[in-house]
Amino acid sequence: RAGAREIQHTEEFFIKPESRVAQLDTSQWPLLLKNFDKLNVMTAHYTPLSSGANPLKREISDYVRSGFINLDKPSNPSSHEVVAWIRRILRVEKTGHSGTLDPKVTGCLIVCIERATRLVKSQQSAGKEYVGIVRLHNAIENEAQLARAIETLTGALFQRPPLIAAVKRQLRVRTIYESKLVEYDPERRLGIFWVSCEAGTYIRTLCVHLGLLLGVGGQMQELRRVRSGILGEKDNMVTMHDVLDAQWQYDNNKDDSYLRRVILPLEKLLTSHKRLVMKDSAVNAICYGAKIMLPGVLRYEDGIEVNQEIVVITTKGEAICLAIALMTTAVISTCDHGIVAKIKRVIMERDTYPRKWGLGPKASQKKMMIQKGLLDKHGKPNESTPDSWKKEYVDYRWVQGVWLLHSGQRGALCSEGWAGCCHLCLEHVRPGPRQSAAWTCGVQWHFLQSQGMCC
């Protein structure tokens, strides 16, 4: 302590002027927080909450139930059997995989566990890469002929599933992005090839087409999937024995380090998506289905386009949901309110973060009025509601949700040319097919009248 006091008294301490602000290096940060400093800043002001955790430092029970395994599928068992074995080994309730592999096919099978199964559909539709062996029925002139034929079979191709496939055998179009010949053995008439293709492509059918194109006939001899989506053979691929050993170590030695190496957090599957970082106070509202609004956004990534699938994350790097962007990066940077994206699939469990909505002055006043009977249980005016509340309060949920009486479609207000109006104004509306239903629009009549918008 004396040494620190001596240093503080003898040396000079001051903030030196610099030409630029010191940058935080986030290039080595994990998963969805990588290059966090390169995201565009909407605001830097928010209240951090102690809830949630870094995906790599979750409690082991949560870690297992929100993770996936990049499994090297063995030959002979079906994909369904392998996934069932994993479920039994890890003692979890739900597992799913990223796309069926035939029993004899080996390679990359992404097995999602519990909460990560919410990403299965997006993984099944991701592109795949394969290395296969094709056997030709007769000899060909040279290796170049086979190489040309393989490269010819690229782009959109017609395919009918093979006889052994467990799907309806109807003609379909699948895209081959790229393919090339790796090696050819003319003595045994075996060719090794690599192909990058759309999900749902049958490589067995591709080999038959290759034989037809060469005029000698051909069939698939062997196949291995080397990439599924963004994960390949070199991305922490493990075997069934690794999973079994990791669970044994945890059960008998209470050592969870092996489980953490075998299982990866679900956020790893989303690292190729554009990111939107939300305030901690907005997280639970999104988990309950609230719209993703601009005031809750902290940071956003460059290159976001309308209708693009993005991932919404917390400040700790946890995935909240997958969403469809409704604004581009340019629009987000120029606006201060509005809906940024619509939810496609919620990933995070509800109440992981505390509930932070309904705490404002209007919401608090509304709750108090409901308790006193001045509003009904849904927060709508009744006979006891003060006139001042009816005039001042606007319930935007109902204003945006107006239903036209005769057509059943949402539309503009009367003053802007309604095709129909509320049940209190029926005499002013032309008869329509749904008039007899006597539907009520969601807007209170007193509000329409006070705004001069009613018929």
Decide if 2 is inside a domain.
no
Q: Are residues 46 and 174 in the same domain?
A: no
CATH number of the domain that residue 50 is part of: 2.30.130.10
Q: Are residues 308 and 162 in the same domain?
A: no
- Whether residue 222 contacts residue 231, with contact meaning beta carbons closer than 8 Å, is answered with no
415 by DSSP, 3-state: which? helix
Domain boundary among 170, 199, 228: 228
Is a pLDDT exceeding 90 seen at residue 130?
A: yes
The domain tally of the chain equals: 4
Residue 5's beta-bridge partner residues?
A: none
- Total-model pTM: 0.73
Is a pLDDT exceeding 90 seen at residue 399?
A: no
Is a pLDDT exceeding 60 seen at residue 208?
A: yes
Decide if 5 is inside a domain.
no
Q: Are residues 110 and 256 in the same domain?
A: yes
Is a pLDDT exceeding 70 seen at residue 410?
A: no
Q: Are residues 324 and 278 in the same domain?
A: yes
> Tokens representing 174?
């699948």
Decide if 381 is inside a domain.
no
Q: Which domain holds residue 423?
A: 394-450
Q: How far is CA 35 from the centre of its chain?
A: 20
Q: Are residues 158 and 247 in the same domain?
A: no
Confidence at residue 23, expressed as pLDDT on a 0 to 100 scale: 67
DSSP at 381: B
Is a pLDDT exceeding 80 seen at residue 248?
A: yes
Measure Cα distances from 383 to 78, 442, 445 in Å: 66, 17, 14
Burial of 175 (0-12, 13-18, 19+ CB in 10 A): middle
Quick one: average pLDDT of 268-281? Answer: 90
Q: Are residues 219 and 131 in the same domain?
A: yes
Confidence at residue 121, expressed as pLDDT on a 0 to 100 scale: 84
CATH number of the domain that residue 253 is part of: 3.30.2350.10
Please tell me the distance from the alpha carbon of residue 34 to that of residue 24, in angstroms, as a whole number.
12
Q: Are residues 132 and 216 in the same domain?
A: yes
Decide if 376 is inside a domain.
no
Is a pLDDT exceeding 70 seen at residue 432?
A: no
Catalytically annotated residues: 102
Q: Are residues 216 and 133 in the same domain?
A: yes
Place of tokens 């928010």: 46
Domain boundary among 339, 357, 375: 357
Q: Are residues 79 and 103 in the same domain?
A: yes
Q: For the segment 156-205, what is each residue's pLDDT rounded down to a tens digit?
A: 888 887 776 666 777 888 889 999 998 988 889 899 999 999 888 888 88
Q: Are residues 240 and 313 in the same domain?
A: no
Helix (H), strand (E) at residue 361: helix 361-372
Q: Are residues 430 and 288 in the same domain?
A: no
452 by DSSP, 3-state: which? coil
Is a pLDDT exceeding 60 seen at residue 355?
A: yes
Is a pLDDT exceeding 50 seen at residue 276?
A: yes
Confidence at residue 406, expressed as pLDDT on a 0 to 100 scale: 35
> Tokens representing 451?
């705004």
Please tell me the distance from the alpha carbon of residue 260 to that of residue 265, in angstroms, as a whole number.
9
CA angle 259/262/266 to nearest 5° reads: 100
Q: Are residues 222 and 243 in the same domain?
A: no
Quick one: average pLDDT of 105-114? Answer: 91
